[in-house]
Homo-oligomer: A and B are copies of this chain.
């Protein structure tokens, strides 16, 4: 049931502009692409199929999966890249079988009868329930801590992301980390007690808030919290080479980040645009 299979499959390489012209324009690849667009990737025999893309929202699940694995969970998964710039997530098969809301990330768990799970918060709670048997990440022994953690997951889910970032929300995190003698993590401390729901978004703060440095912007505790999570083996592996990591190494990255942020805003969430279109 638990094959050692953790791969990122570029299931549908729609970025044809990066392919040799001959390949990109060949009837074969077009047919393949059209067929794949119409049906989706084949079912797995076991393990989890993750439908995602390397956005901060998608990354949340990679961080959770890698953390579970690094801490000993036998969970395996295959990642199917869903090119959101081509609206693959709006294809009928995706809406019918994966996520009726047409968003990434989503999972299908072939260990448990092709169970679909959508919305990041729901996926995190699901993974914790079924693959966190040794209380690696979320299943606190203490009910109070668990309730507090779930509140913070919903706080992130409803408030902090591409479409609704704000410095006020960053301040909520900063204040929490300053409580008492100061906190290692949002809830509890050490192994299994970090908030992977909030991590990937706050780490990507330049995209949403155009703040190049949390420290300089007045959030030193938040900054060290992010660095503490980045130093964990699972989280480090999950974010390796992602767009935040890549951009930070380049000259003039702030400008690129600003540009990329605009793209993520428009392409992934698009809720502001939706609202405009929907107004009567």
Contacts and interface: CB of A to CB of B under 8 A. Distances in A.
A59 to B, nearest CB: 16
A69 interface: no
A277 to B, nearest CB: 8
B122 A166 contact: no
Contacts of A115: 144, 147
Contacts of A119: 151, 154-155, 158
B118 A166 contact: no
A147 B126 CA distance: 7
B101 A275 contact: no
Interface of A is mostly: helix
Contacts of A161: 158
A271 B162 CA distance: 12
Nearest to A161: B158
A121 interface: yes
Contacts of A252: none
Interface stretch (A12-20, A167-175, A230-238, A240-248): A167-175
Contacts of A125: 150
**6 A-B pairs with least C-beta separation:** A119-B154, A166-B274, A122-B151, A121-B154, A122-B154, A167-B278
Interface of A: 95, 100-102, 112-113, 115-122, 125-126, 143-144, 147-148, 150-151, 153-155, 157-159, 161, 163-169, 172, 175-176, 209-211, 271, 274-275, 277-280
